[in-house]
Chains A and B, each alone.
Chain A
């Protein structure tokens, strides 16, 4: 019975590992699609950070901090994952630079907001909201272009 169960267990573990992998980019088109997906994930994180700032008066401090912390972690993970994919050509290098400029800026801005929230709260919420909206819009445009 145990020897019969072994292949099933192996298949289960392999499937878990495979589904968690970041696959390489096969060509420029594939790389561009990955860049588009990266921008989409970054938009999502920026939107949650925006909600934490926009609804700061209606939610608790610890909850706002959790939202901002998660947004930073998501953006950091997005940058790490996409940064690890090898661009297949010079054309892909340009796409890489463009998307990482946006996602790294998003990570830095949200990180600043988290630091402020942990101290005395976000200093200039109106400006922060404007900046996050602009970033989300640029990332959305990029994602749309590389869908």
Chain B
């Protein structure tokens, strides 16, 4: 019974914690401009993140070492450093976007400019990372993120034309060009397969001391929790397609993105969705900040993690604090957090092979994995995704330039 509760709680946490600012922004913008015609990308992204998160969870459970710890050992310090540089840069950019997102959620409640909320959000996030236990922190914000299910209720309440939504699945709007369509496909994929999710998942497995016995829980989190999160992403896109697309409105702020819930469910719905957005972005703030500490510490072989006393993992905690300060400073320059999110999605997409190739290599190495090495199906899927991610990585920046970031 206790195990069942643990698995259920893990699934719900993975579900509630799946959506972050990147998913919110990408799905709302795509839904308003392309309807449901890019839903297939979300499905491809969810399968991809499931494949690689399962591998990284398995690596953590079998070797009791997280992915980055093994990247340097397996790929050598030079290749590991390139990997670290790209991941760390994207992590800090994503962290800035998440801090901005949490501050924007508070602006919607209070009416006070989000810039005033940025320093308190960053300070509280650092305090939570410093003081609160890992599993408590993960559960509280993951479960609070479930409030975003309100998008599903709102969609039902809005009474969309289901036939039109279904038709959009196979018929992209004629007035959008192919490069713009592909640019947003890449942004959606970047949102669904954000690199920090894998670092956090595997490092979290080590923090929670996973062993081979925990593989069932890890797989349940990945194969049930993440797809449910994907359904939520599609619902956000469907809400945008229902409310914005018919009147040619394109949301470019968090306030505008939650409007369908306000229209469908009024003040209560608005309150719930803002809570969900805050939990999702604040939870992702913690995950990205910790991921910065994890990746750097694991590469350089420093003591890391929340399970050891801060005094014994000083460099890890300094890295986390420095990342939070840099990300906060970036948002305080008044750069639009939604723009930061959009760029971070595309750069994430460009760096995806760097993140996922080592995962595939290590999960396929019997020296590390023993009999828990990848099976044929995992290798087949993993190899297919590596080719896909390589194409995406090569196309991401040229498409961003050609479409002027999707304009």
Give complex CA distance A45, B250 in Å.
Answer: 8
By a CB distance below 8 angstroms, the chain B residues around A21 are 404
Kindly state whether residue B401 has any CB partner on chain A within 8 Å: yes
Give complex CA distance A61, B259 in Å.
Answer: 14
In angstroms, how far is the closest chain B Cβ from the Cβ of A99? 16
Does B401 contact A18, Cβ atoms closer than 8 Å?
Answer: yes
By a CB distance below 8 angstroms, the chain A residues around B256 are 48, 67, 70
Q: How many A-B residue pairs have CB under 8 A?
A: 75
In angstroms, how far is the closest chain A Cβ from the Cβ of B72? 14
Kindly state whether residue B173 has any CB partner on chain A within 8 Å: no
Kindly state whether residue B290 has any CB partner on chain A within 8 Å: no
Kindly state whether residue B111 has any CB partner on chain A within 8 Å: yes
Kindly state whether residue A126 has any CB partner on chain B within 8 Å: no
Give complex CA distance A16, B256 in Å.
Answer: 25
Kindly state whether residue A107 has any CB partner on chain B within 8 Å: no
In angstroms, how far is the closest chain B Cβ from the Cβ of A69? 9
Give complex CA distance A41, B248 in Å.
Answer: 9
Kindly state whether residue B267 has any CB partner on chain A within 8 Å: yes
Kindly state whether residue B263 has any CB partner on chain A within 8 Å: yes
By a CB distance below 8 angstroms, the chain B residues around A18 are 401
By a CB distance below 8 angstroms, the chain B residues around A76 are none
In angstroms, how far is the closest chain A Cβ from the Cβ of B85? 7
Contact residues on A (Cβ < 8 Å of other chain), bracket: 20 to 34
Task: Please encode chain A, from 123 to 147, with 1 for each CB lying within 8 Å of some chain B CB and 0 for all others.
Answer: 0000000000000100010000001
By a CB distance below 8 angstroms, the chain B residues around A47 are 244, 247-249
Kindly state whether residue A3 has any CB partner on chain B within 8 Å: no
By a CB distance below 8 angstroms, the chain A residues around B111 are 61-63, 65-66
Does B85 contact A48, Cβ atoms closer than 8 Å?
Answer: no
Kindly state whether residue B180 has any CB partner on chain A within 8 Å: no
Give complex CA distance A65, B252 in Å.
Answer: 16
Task: Please encode chain B, from 97 to 134, with 1 for each CB lying within 8 Å of some chain A CB and 0 for all others.
Answer: 00000000001111100000000000000000000000
Residue of B nearest to A46 (CB): B249
Does B262 contact A55, Cβ atoms closer than 8 Å?
Answer: yes
Known: A20-B405, A66-B111. A59 touches B266 (CB 8 A): yes
Residues of chain B having any CB pair with chain A under 8 Å: 78, 81, 85, 107-111, 175, 244, 247-253, 255-256, 259, 262-263, 266-267, 270, 343, 347, 397, 400-401, 404-405, 407
The 4 A-B residue pairs whose C-beta atoms are closest, nearest first, are A62-B111, A47-B249, A58-B266, A19-B405
Sampled A-B contacts (7; CB under 8 Å): A19-B400, A19-B401, A48-B249, A63-B111, A65-B111, A66-B108, A70-B253
Residues of chain A having any CB pair with chain B under 8 Å: 1, 5, 11-12, 15-16, 18-21, 23, 37, 40-41, 43-44, 47-48, 51, 55, 58-63, 65-67, 70, 74, 136, 140, 147
